[in-house]
Chains A and B, each alone.
Chain A
């Protein structure tokens, strides 16, 4: 059997964009879909200067559609009690502007969208942390969810088994920053800063981050707490509590307590994900610049097309762009079990 005989439908490449320039870069580099957020707390990358105004999203959707790409709008934080306004407006505006789907986490917002915008395709965000067949079937039956973004807690084998038991499409992360396997439920950053990643949309908000260059080391603080010190010449990471180094017990040497600053990198394992029935591949990094978006999307475009043609993926080295400069397969291969 030659490569042409084995050609199958490529998995959908879902790419990040934090700005209109990044959206255009992603589309031009070969993204099938681009996911974005409004410039407020309704999405989980509510960072300063990032995201889209309504006119910017309208222009972005026009640009993507003209080139055959889709735009998915992440409205994936959990609304404040008694103040659903921003989240309802975000869904209504996404529908009015012609978004191809919204990515939701909160059940109430899922219900609202299904009721008031039934024509708007609904994807379940990773923030909903739906990782078993019963939970996913519930979201499908109750809210008409068409796709679930799986939390980064499952092995490839578990994803294959899951896909046999559900009818909705599955989307998985294949590259970029990692969290501590408590998607949508992590309170570490909120505990120190008072700003919740899940409700306000910012993990380790920049307003609470300080770096001090002390000559022989760079000290990173979050909410006044030292989370790491990087000696001159050693790579630095994001100032997140989960990737900080701490002194614990009787050991006076600081070490990683929760996880190390490494990036998810699954480009070599795309054939296994396709065989497991995965429909879409997500690249993390709406907070990253257009140089990152361009290089990572282009690399994965080639790899996804290779796999669809029955060829081994050309796994380009993207580690220069990765946090910690190192890649990991994370939970897809639970080496610790």
Chain B
């Protein structure tokens, strides 16, 4: 999960800000109602803390602006809410590949501050039904190819690692699962016996 963030570390922030500006403008030109679901909120500002990057982002939605901020300075930015996660998690969330609630349950994503603003942003991005990363890359020109390659490579590495971890997890849990099934069968057997005894007792009482 850390790979994507490390892969992007050599890219200097001054090079990324113009690309961010162009990417956001390109997405908004194509989807002008992207933040329409946030209309009921009072100009929310989001602090996006990317845990494996030396910088984070500040997202304003009225007017729309995505600003790159060095991570040590991010904490001083006044914001409506904070969203904290590794880069790849955030990217997959923006692509609609991961479920925000599931990430929250597993603690892969942390939110702080105004939860209403976070929920509305999640619904706006997820509800747009678009791959924001792919759309934004449309304007990166020569940078798009290498960046896409880095992200795809990171994704493959992560998928393989996740698969290996899942195999290990299942192997480790298999004896527990078998024991749980055995316990459950035993419990069901006991429940049946208790119910039968209860019925028999009632019949005897009636007799």
Which residues of A are in contact with B by a Cβ distance under 8 Å?
18-22, 24-25, 47-50, 205-207, 209-213, 218, 230, 232-237, 239, 287-292, 295, 320-325, 335
A20 to B126, CA, bound (A): 10
Does more than half of chain B's interface fall in helix, strand or loop, or is it mixed?
Answer: helix
Q: Could you pull out 18 A-B pairs where Cβ atoms are within 8 angstroms?
A: A18-B127, A19-B123, A49-B120, A49-B127, A50-B127, A206-B115, A207-B114, A211-B110, A213-B110, A218-B110, A235-B105, A236-B107, A289-B99, A289-B100, A295-B99, A320-B102, A321-B101, A322-B105
A32 to chain B, nearest CB (A): 21
A209 to B117, CA, bound (A): 11
- Whether a CB of chain A sits under 8 angstroms from the CB of B112 is yes
Contact A289 B37 (CB under 8 A): no
Given A24-B129, A50-B123, A320-B106, 20 new contacts (CB under 8 A): A18-B123, A19-B126, A21-B129, A25-B129, A47-B119, A48-B41, A48-B116, A48-B123, A205-B116, A206-B115, A210-B113, A236-B104, A236-B105, A289-B126, A290-B96, A291-B96, A291-B98, A292-B102, A324-B105, A335-B191
A25 to B105, CA, bound (A): 22
A235 to B109, CA, bound (A): 11
**Chain B residue nearest in CB terms to A52:** B127
Task: Known contacts A212-B112, A213-B112; decide if A22 and B126 are in contact (CB<8 Å).
Answer: yes
Question: Tally of A-B residue pairs with Cβ under 8 A?
Answer: 113
A19 to B122, CA, bound (A): 11
- In the complex, chain A residues whose CB is within 8 Å of the CB of B98: 289, 291
Task: Known contacts A48-B120, A287-B101, A289-B122; decide if A21 and B96 are in contact (CB<8 Å).
Answer: yes
B21 to chain A, nearest CB (A): 25
- In the complex, chain B residues whose CB is within 8 Å of the CB of A24: 129
- Whether a CB of chain A sits under 8 angstroms from the CB of B38 is yes
